[in-house]
Amino acid sequence: MLQNYLKIALRNLLKNKTFSFINIAGLAVGLASTMLLALWVLDEYSFENFQEKRDVLFQGKRNFKESETSIWTSSSQSGNTAEYIRKNFPEVKNAVLTDWGNNVTISYGEKSLKKTWFSVETPFFEMFTFPFVQGSAKTAFIDVNSVVLTESMAKSLFGDEDPMNKLVKINLKHSLKVTGVLKDLPKNTRFNFDYLTSIKFLDSIGETYYGWSANNFQLWVELRPDANLEAVNKKMLKVYKSNADGFSNGDLFLYPLSRLRLFNKFNNGVESGEGLNSLVSLFSIISIVILVIACINFMNLSTARSEKRAKEVGVRKVTGATRGSLISLFLSESLLITILAFGLAILMVTLLLPAFNDLIGKQLTIPFGNINYVLGAIILVLFTGFMSGSYPAFFLSSFKPIKVLKGTMQLGRGASLPRKILVVIQFCFSIVLIIFTILVYQQIRFGQNQPLGYDQKNLMYFEMPGEMYKQFTPMKQDLLASGVVMSAYSTNQPMNATGNNSWGYEWKGQKPEQKNQIFDNVRVTLDFLKTTGIKLKEGRDYSPQFMADTIHSVLVNEAAVKAMGLKNPLGEIIRRQRDGNYTIVGVLQDFVFGNPFEDKQPMMVQLMPDSQSASNVVLRLNPQKSATECLEKISTIFKKYESVAPFDYEFVDTEFEKKFSKETLLRNLAYLFGGLAIFVSCLGLFGLASFMAERRTKEIGIRKVLGASISGIVMMLSKDFLKLVGIATIVSFPIAWWLGNKFLEYYPKHINFAWWIFAVSGIMAGVIALLTVSYQAIKAAVANPVKSLRTE
């Protein structure tokens, strides 16, 4: 029986090559897009799944009340929390601090590499599943001056040598003994360190500070299996309050490790649902939509061709076929087509995966060997085959044999209505995607074209490894003398890099709730304004004339003046318990420092002496000189002061571009899948148009004999389809409006929905549809009527 079905299906496929191509190609594109997205989505959901204790691991978060209306959620904690929690929380099995990780030079002999350095407390290895290949968790950090490497780190530093007990240098100054090698980290973890040291080591070199008002550590907690998170979190709220040292330091709470990847976005202290998961679910929906569009094509073309199949249905019924057996006949046909399409889709995915990986910045592979994926693929094929075949199967099998066999069957207007509705739905999807794509593109452009408030071009920075900062003054002189550098300063934070902030300041006229006002802190040496091109709004820049600037002066930005509510900011004093008093000597015009889509944050810029430890040098390059020449000369000067560490530099404008990575990803995916959706819809439209033209051959012949012009006939044939696209356009507008605004709300600073976006997308859809349909329409219109009438 099945063999007979498949035979018929194959012969039908070969007989109607256009329809077969449209169906198979369309379904293949739909399946391929679903598979690509599925690979991505499953990868996102697999984050931290390998952690054996994933269900009991939590990150410490804290909610910080900035003002009456805004709560800021942070992951940084005071270093005292871990010890306190270990002592006072019986529900907690383990609690450890880690730092935030830095790219720091690690060297062995001649070899020097810049890799990610991360510091942890020993129980870290009990909590997280990062197994040792050499050495053990117990012994790794007995000696403070120890370092644990990942396997590939060890390999690139030591080659085939045994790394154990060898001495390496971190940041060119700290000698540490290798006491362990970890298996390389899986890709689907948030941790990305290359080597680990103990927090105790950081203590020993004086790079830690423990105070209840500090916020410089990450906190990781393992609860006992029987602990109740809600109850624990209720107690956690009091951790900072019961250790207040005059500041209000926020409310600690635990957040599941398993949610960090996808849901880690907070709005006023609660998970906002706007994390990566929103992107993931958006594109999951879109990929399913594309598959549905392809299935709709199949349904449309099958039912459109139903008159041709009707006779077969009649004959089969007369020879004893039941409706059930006919339904299985048609379903096995659609299943066969789906299987062929699936084969093609696998091929497409294999070919497209490298490009797709580039697009989303991952290294996904097709897991052919994974039984779960194979099962998933089988379910996908069955589902698609059934979905695309069900309507035609039930529709076709319902024909009454005497009607179809006597040739009196007229499907008439009623029968084509579902088809029209399906076309409208398809184009609705496509138009919504067009609008969405335009919006994303506009929003990114908006972010990129914002007035920055400083001059990004020819601005670069490099890192000063080790103790290079001690020689900053002579190096600066060398740089300026080289002719390629116009101006330079050193800083703890180059442009674009936020992350250092503090609170607890007081000023005149401060409201009580403003004690928690958070300020971004940037520390710079002289020539900050000259180098960056940031403008002064009032007051003066730092200057060597004023000796006290390094201790008693501060520059603030406009946002800070606004936040503090100062009328005449110049000369006002900002006080902080531990640090002392600062006089505002100048106000900077607002400039983009962090996220370009967020409102400008209040900021303080403080002057530090050249000799103070700073991590980076920011340079304004001479625009007259080529970039290669500049880099060459700067690199030579760098080498003069530091012969071992690599010269590691960034251009501010390329770094700025990286802030749009999520938006760029969104845009690229929207382009790709929007394009695919439109392509598949057009395939379907093309098929329908060719069917219509075929069906109306006789009518067209008669009209031509009666004197209709070719253009008139093309118009007549295209009009029907354009009407459908028109309806789709109107239906899609409110949907796109709602979706688009939801997307824009995500950005504090965003473009407005412009009416022309609707106009453009409507016209685009119309033109695409017209181009698709007109080929068939013209072909039908120019055909010789004598021929078409004779064939009747």
Partner 1 sequence: MLQLKNIFRWYNSGANRAFVLRDVSLEIQKGEFVSIMGPSGSGKSTLLHVLGMMDEPNEGQYLFLDNNVLNIKEKQRAELYKKHIGFVFQAYHLIDELTVYENIETPLLYHGFNSSERKSMVADVLDRFNIVGKKDLFPNQLSGGQQQLVGIARAVITKPDLILADEPTGNLNSKQGEEIMDLFKTLNQEGVTIVQVTHSEKNAAVGSRIVNLLDGRVV
Nearer to partner 1, 319 or 628 (CB): 319
Burial label, 623 (beta-carbon count in 10 A; 0-12, 13-18, 19+): exposed
Nearer to partner 1, 38 or 329 (CB): 329
Listed in sequence order, the residues at least 6 apart from 115 whose beta carbon sits closer than 8 Å to its beta carbon are 103, 104, 105, 106, 153, 194, 195
Task: Judge whether 127 and 220 are in contact, CB under 8 Å.
Answer: yes
Nearer to partner 1, 401 or 726 (CB): 401
Residue 334: CB minimum distance to partner 1, A: 16
Nearer to partner 1, 408 or 624 (CB): 408
Nearer to partner 1, 311 or 695 (CB): 311
Question: Among 287-295, 335-343, 404-412, 571-579, which window interacts with partner 1 (CB under 8 A)?
Answer: 404-412
Residue 405 has φ and ψ, to the nearest 5°, of -80, -30
Measured distance CA(781)–CA(717) in Å, rounded: 9
Percentage helix, strand, coil, to 5, in the chain? Answer: 55, 20, 30
Per-residue contact string for residues 406-425; x = within reach of partner 1 by CB under 8 A = xx------------------
3-state SS assignment for residue 214: coil
Residue 393: CB minimum distance to partner 1, A: 17
Task: Judge whether 31 and 384 are in contact, CB under 8 Å.
Answer: yes
Per-residue contact string for residues 291-320; x = within reach of partner 1 by CB under 8 A = --------------------xx-xxx-xxx
Q: Given candidates 142, 270, 402, 786, which one binds partner 1 under the rule CB under 8 A?
A: 402
SS (H, E, C) 343-374: HHHHHHHHHHHHHHHHHHCCCCCCCCCCHHHH
Residue 418 has φ and ψ, to the nearest 5°, of -60, -35
Question: Among 7-15, 69-77, 146-154, 509-517, which window interacts with partner 1 (CB under 8 A)?
Answer: 7-15
Q: Given candidates 401, 533, 539, 594, which one binds partner 1 under the rule CB under 8 A?
A: 401
Q: Is 4 in the site for partner 1 (CB under 8 A)?
A: yes
Nearer to partner 1, 312 or 538 (CB): 312
Measured distance CA(295)–CA(558) in Å, rounded: 56
Q: Is 166 in the site for partner 1 (CB under 8 A)?
A: no
Q: Given candidates 113, 214, 405, 744, which one binds partner 1 under the rule CB under 8 A?
A: 405
CA 512 from chain center: how many Å? 39
The H-assigned helical ranges of 459-566 are 472-481, 528-532, 549-552, 558-564
Residue 1: CB minimum distance to partner 1, A: 6
Nearer to partner 1, 406 or 640 (CB): 406
Contacts to partner 1 from residues 696-725, by CB under 8 A: none
Task: Judge whether 504 and 576 are in contact, CB under 8 Å.
Answer: yes
Buried b (16+ CB within 10 A) or exposed e, 45-64: eebbeebebeebbbbbbbbb
Q: Is 7 in the site for partner 1 (CB under 8 A)?
A: yes
Nearer to partner 1, 7 or 177 (CB): 7
Per-residue contact string for residues 638-677; x = within reach of partner 1 by CB under 8 A = ----------------------------------------
Residue 18: CB minimum distance to partner 1, A: 17
Residue 40: CB minimum distance to partner 1, A: 42
Listed in sequence order, the residues at least 6 apart from 340 whose beta carbon sits closer than 8 Å to its beta carbon are 13, 24
Nearer to partner 1, 20 or 550 (CB): 20
Burial label, 481 (beta-carbon count in 10 A; 0-12, 13-18, 19+): exposed
- Greatest Cα-to-Cα distance within the chain, rounded to the nearest angstrom: 106
Residue 329: CB minimum distance to partner 1, A: 10
Contacts to partner 1 from residues 321-350, by CB under 8 A: 321-322, 325
Return the closest-CA partner of residue 334 out of 700, 72, 549, 13: 13
Residue 341: CB minimum distance to partner 1, A: 21
Residue 325: CB minimum distance to partner 1, A: 6
Per-residue contact string for residues 11-30; x = within reach of partner 1 by CB under 8 A = xx--x---------------
Residue 303: CB minimum distance to partner 1, A: 19
Contacts to partner 1 from residues 55-114, by CB under 8 A: none
3-state SS assignment for residue 516: helix
Contacts to partner 1 from residues 130-159, by CB under 8 A: none
Measured distance CA(410)–CA(695) in Å, rounded: 13
Measured distance CA(400)–CA(415) in Å, rounded: 15
Binding-site size for partner 1 (CB under 8 A) equals 24
Nearer to partner 1, 116 or 325 (CB): 325
Q: Which residues pair with 463 in a beta bridge?
A: 616
Residue 3: CB minimum distance to partner 1, A: 9
Nearer to partner 1, 15 or 111 (CB): 15
Residue 407: CB minimum distance to partner 1, A: 8
Q: Is 398 in the site for partner 1 (CB under 8 A)?
A: no
Q: Which long-range contacts (CB under 8 A, 24 or more apart) does 356-360 make?
A: 356/36, 356/40, 359/665, 359/668, 359/669, 359/672, 360/40, 360/665, 360/668, 360/669
Side chain identity at residue 555, one-letter code = L
Q: Is 6 in the site for partner 1 (CB under 8 A)?
A: no
Contact residues: partner 1, CB under 8 A: 1, 4, 7-8, 11-12, 15, 311-312, 314-316, 318-322, 325, 400-402, 405-407
